[in-house]
A and B are shown apart, each in its own frame.
Chain A
Amino acid sequence: MTAPAPLAWYLVLSAVLFGIGVVGVLARRNLIVVFMAIELMLNAVNLTFVTFARARPSMDGHVIVFFVMAVAAAEAAVGLAIILQLFRARETVNADEVTTLRW
């Protein structure tokens, strides 16, 4: 396939998605939603990589995305296990209520 939309637009889109992800991480109380926002950020980055792979062109970008996906999966599994355990201990997944590691 040739000539999708100008590649710069893809990059702008991924920047916007990343920004929205950042907002989600910082502005939501629910830890599960925070997690989802993190996945959002990862995907934005994936989009960036694929765009550049198309631009150069080089398959290396695809390989990196491959790895990112694998790692993201692993991270999601472990992270959700932790949240599960947290909920069992504290009855909450509210970020404001798990602050015992303070001064």
Chain B
Amino acid sequence: MSAVLFLVIAALTVLGAFTVVVARSPVYSALGLVGTLFLIAVLFLSLDAQLLGFLQIIVYAGAIVVLFLFVIMLLNLQAELETLSAPGLVAAAALGGLALAGLVAFGVVRTPLGAPALADGFGNTVPVAELLFTTYLLPFELTSVLLLVAIIGAVVIGKKRLA
């Protein structure tokens, strides 16, 4: 894609991120999050990461954000009067975030990055699967266990306790 297109999408992504952080109502934040995630999926596609792009939409935008919304509804959270934490903390946050972004950007700009030609099927299911079931077999299995544990954990923690 051309650079211009990228800039537009990037700007929208940042806008979405801002919404998450700045919005009064948690629902608005969630919506901002969905938008950001969706745009990031687009960016993935632009980087020839097709599998990941769709996974992003399915897992992140489709499942995780929905989970967030469920909880927000369950807790019946309203728009807040005071959204921000203590001023000192906010100032520290602003500074820290700025410093961090600046530092990373500074480091990044100095490294030379090219965009070489790609093999056939780069970013698709097949190479990912090949790696998952050979080199990264152990992490794969462990992740499945992790997911099982997380399910059980979430159920147990989230149960209503009898008085």
Contacts and interface: CB of A to CB of B under 8 A. Distances in A.
Nearest to A72: B64
A9 B139 CA distance: 31
B93 A43 contact: no
The secondary structure that dominates the A interface is helix
Nearest to A55: B113
A86 to B, nearest CB: 10
B3 A5 contact: yes
A96 B85 contact: yes
A101 interface: no
B82 interface: yes
Contacts of B83: 28-30, 33
Contacts of A53: 47, 49
Interface string A61-94: 0110111011111111110111111011000010
Interface residues of A, number: 74
Contacts of B143: 67, 70-71
Interface string A3-35: 111111111110111111111111111101101
Interface in A30-53: 30, 32-33, 35-37, 39-40, 43, 46-47, 50-51, 53
A11 B108 CA distance: 7
B46 A77 contact: no
Contact of B52 (A10, A66, A76): A66
Nearest to B157: A81
Contacts of A36: 20, 29-30, 33, 68
Nearest to B142: A67
Given A33-B20, A66-B52, A76-B68, 13 more contacts: A7-B115, A20-B14, A22-B96, A27-B84, A32-B29, A33-B83, A50-B43, A53-B47, A62-B51, A63-B136, A72-B60, A74-B147, A78-B157
24 contacts: A1-B48, A4-B6, A5-B3, A8-B109, A12-B105, A24-B20, A25-B93, A26-B89, A27-B21, A30-B26, A32-B71, A35-B68, A43-B37, A47-B40, A47-B44, A50-B43, A55-B116, A56-B116, A57-B116, A66-B55, A73-B150, A76-B67, A76-B68, A85-B157
